[in-house]
Amino acid sequence: MEFKAIIDAKTHAPSDCAVVGVYENGDLDAAARNIDAQTGGLIRQLHAGGDFAGKTGDTLLLPRPAGAASARVLLVGLGPRAGFDRKQYRKALLSSAQALAKTGAADSVVYLALEGIAGVEVQYRARMVAEIFSAQGYKIPDLKSGAKPKPAKLSSVSVAAENARTVKAAANGLKIGAAIGSAMAMSRDLANLPPNICTPTYIGQRAESLAKEWPRIKTTVIDKNGIKALKMGAFLAVAQGSAQPPRLIVCEYHGAKKTSAPICLVGKGITFDSGGISLKEPPAMDEMKFDMSGAATVLGAMRAAAELALPINLVVIIAACENMPSGGAIKPSDIVTSMSGQTVEILNTDAEGRLVLCDAITYGRRFKPAAVIDVATLTGACVVALGHHLSGLMSNDEALAAEIAAAGIRADDRAWRMPIADEYVDQLKSNFADLANVGGREGGACTAASFLSKFAAKLAWAHLDVAGTAWLGGSQKGSTGRPIPLLVDFLVNRARSR
Ligand code: BES
Ligand code: MN
Ligand code: ZN
């Protein structure tokens, strides 16, 4: 999908479909007023006659309205005018995208970004158009044997802006939104693929093709022997029960001078988490194919950085393996030595994410990073705490935590700060090793993060627990691509401010 920004507030450029807004009280946005005048008051009549109430997200398609410059007009309800907010705006965009997909329109002009929203600049209003239209057009990798769905007709969306200044801001927003859209599609593809296809080896190959596609990215895939040589005893322990070999995947993006300290993104890449010997229950075990979502999203963030040519350095580190039970698998009470030298007593083989991440974080130190952010579907406890709406955010650095939380708010991909503390580390005491890998049910998301904090000493480090946000279950089952909007916003903001 191609996105463009055009100056078109007064006129009403001809297109296959104009998308215009109507408020509940009958107020029309500027473009709707225009078309209303061109069509002899058609839109006002529809509202007054009760045919279009303007409820948030309602749509009504007007095919070939006599007098209008465009072939179709899509009315979209904006809801109450007073306090028109980002939620209403997003909902209106989503239903516009859904309704447009059911028409034959190949191109469209969306006028909704002309509407003011308190606290949301035009750049973000345009960005949301690209993000939402891209996400709406996303299709799960097709492994069904039936007839192939027809490719989408809509290939070009223009966003109307008021003047030379705002059209520039809108174009910039569209660029960012489109990069987020492509990154999310790539990441969702990886996460939605079944684990017999999306193996650690496969993720490594995808990271290599990303480097082929984007010359500023360099990918290094380290195999089992290399991981052994690095003394990543915790990571290897998780991998040892599986027939699939592990991969440590390192992608470096160079967009700034060599001496500029990189941001390091670390992703949990468990391509299937059976729980291991501490086997999970059958219901919903299939969803543990999504346990590599952290890996997929950090790779997506790297793709977006490359597409946007951000003037920063970025390193992505992915620890990819399966967590399986077998005769060779780790057992509860096994003790392993992590790359950091700290020993860990594995009391529950299902707490494997922290084991692979602790070594990946330690590996990150060699890049002397300005900040390290790990992204992981780490704990069911985080889902209990925050549900499926917000990601968990833990950090040893106040400024970094605030920066990430702010990025999440701007990107509509929020994260909520949760604690790490010595008291949680105390729950991880072991009689036999430096640390146990579990600390009881209580505060499970916090003990997991506090475990990681023991490997992040003296780093500016943050942890995003995306167990509740990375995918949806039920009839909507599938990857969401979160927290890519947050991560990309964070990176764009870093690029701008340094
Ligand atoms: N990948 C899971 C976390 C998870 C569970 C994400 C459910 C989404 C939904 C992780 O590896 C795990 O199994 N964590 C355990 C930790 C426990 C053994 C301390 C959990 O949350 O049950
Ligand atoms: Mn697990
Ligand atoms: Zn897991």
Q: pLDDT digits over 60-87, tens only? A: 999 999 999 999 999 999 999 999 999 9
Q: What is the mean pLDDT of residues 300-323?
A: 98
The pLDDT, as a whole number, for residue 447 is: 98
Distance CA 354, CA 303 (A): 25
- Are the C-beta atoms of 294 and 375 separated by less than 8 Å? yes
Query: Which residues share a beta bridge with 317?
Result: 250, 266
The pLDDT, as a whole number, for residue 5 is: 98
The pLDDT, as a whole number, for residue 79 is: 98
CA of 81 to the centre of ligand 2 (A): 47
- Are the C-beta atoms of 439 and 414 separated by less than 8 Å? no
Choice among 91, 354, 410, 494 that is catalytic: 354
Q: Whose CA is nearest to atom 14 of ligand 1?
A: 379
Indicate the top mutation candidate among 291, 356, 379 to test ligand 1's pocket, ranked by most ligand atoms within 8 A of CB: 379
- Are the C-beta atoms of 59 and 75 separated by less than 8 Å? yes
Residue 199, both tokens: 């193996």
Distance CA 91, CA 99 (A): 12
% of the chain with per-residue pLDDT over 70: 100
Q: Is the pLDDT of residue 451 over 80?
A: yes
Distance CA 465, CA 415 (A): 9
Residue 263, both tokens: 């941001």
3-state secondary structure of 421: coil
pLDDT in tens, 135-191: 999 999 999 999 998 899 999 999 999 999 999 999 999 999 999 999 999 999 999
Q: How confident is the model at residue 478 (pLDDT cuts 50, 70, 90)?
A: very high
The pLDDT, as a whole number, for residue 477 is: 98
Residue 360, both tokens: 């990946």
Q: What is the mean pLDDT of residues 306-325?
A: 98
Average pLDDT, the chain: 97
Q: Which ligand is nearest to the CA of 377?
A: 1
Q: How confident is the model at residue 10 (pLDDT cuts 50, 70, 90)?
A: confident
pLDDT in tens, 233-243: 999 999 999 99
Q: Give CA angle at 94 (409, 104), nearest 5°.
A: 150
pLDDT in tens, 133-148: 999 999 999 999 999 9
CA of 278 to the centre of ligand 2 (A): 9
Q: Is the pLDDT of residue 113 over 90?
A: yes
The pLDDT, as a whole number, for residue 426 is: 98
CA of 352 to the centre of ligand 2 (A): 5
Atom of ligand 1 nearest to the CA of 444: 19
Q: Whose CA is nearest to atom 22 of ligand 1?
A: 380
pLDDT in tens, 462-474: 999 999 999 999 9
Q: How confident is the model at residue 124 (pLDDT cuts 50, 70, 90)?
A: very high
Choice among 33, 55, 216, 280 that is catalytic: 280
Distance CA 77, CA 28 (A): 10
CA of 318 to the centre of ligand 1 (A): 18
CA of 454 to the centre of ligand 2 (A): 20
CA of 413 to the centre of ligand 1 (A): 22
Q: Which residue shows structure tokens 């297109």?
A: 15
Indicate the top mutation candidate among 321, 350, 428, 452 to test ligand 1's pocket, ranked by most ligand atoms within 8 A of CB: 350
Q: How confident is the model at residue 13 (pLDDT cuts 50, 70, 90)?
A: confident
189 closest CA partner among 109, 289, 261: 289
Checking DSSP bridges between strand 59-63 and strand 72-79, what pairing results, if any? antiparallel
The pLDDT, as a whole number, for residue 337 is: 99
pLDDT in tens, 201-222: 999 999 999 999 999 999 999 9
The pLDDT, as a whole number, for residue 354 is: 99
pLDDT in tens, 254-266: 999 999 999 999 9
Q: How confident is the model at residue 17 (pLDDT cuts 50, 70, 90)?
A: very high
Write the DSSP symbol of residue 465. E
Q: Which ligand is nearest to the CA of 287?
A: 1
Q: Is the pLDDT of residue 329 over 90?
A: yes
Q: Whose CA is nearest to atom 16 of ligand 1?
A: 351
% of the chain with per-residue pLDDT over 90: 98
462 closest CA partner among 402, 384, 380: 402
Active site residue 354: yes
Distance CA 113, CA 121 (A): 10
Residue 78 exposure: Cα atoms within 13 Å on the Cβ side: 25
Atom of ligand 1 nearest to the CA of 278: 18
pTM of the full predicted structure?
A: 0.98
Q: How confident is the model at residue 387 (pLDDT cuts 50, 70, 90)?
A: very high
Q: Is the pLDDT of residue 498 over 80?
A: no
Q: How many residues does the chain have?
A: 498
Q: What is the mean pLDDT of residues 77-101?
A: 97
3-state secondary structure of 130: helix
Active site residue 280: yes
Q: Whose CA is nearest to atom 13 of ligand 1?
A: 350
Residue 347, both tokens: 């009391």
Q: How confident is the model at residue 285 (pLDDT cuts 50, 70, 90)?
A: very high
CA of 215 to the centre of ligand 1 (A): 37
Q: Which residues lie at CB < 5 A from ion ligand 3?
A: 270, 273, 291, 353
The pLDDT, as a whole number, for residue 379 is: 98
Residue 316, both tokens: 């992505």
Atom of ligand 1 nearest to the CA of 438: 19
Q: What is the mean pLDDT of residues 398-404?
A: 98
Q: Is the pLDDT of residue 11 over 80?
A: no
Q: Residues lining ligand 1, judged by CB closer than 6 Å? A: 273, 291, 348, 350-353, 377-381, 383, 438, 444, 467
The pLDDT, as a whole number, for residue 396 is: 98
Q: Which ligand is nearest to the CA of 348?
A: 1
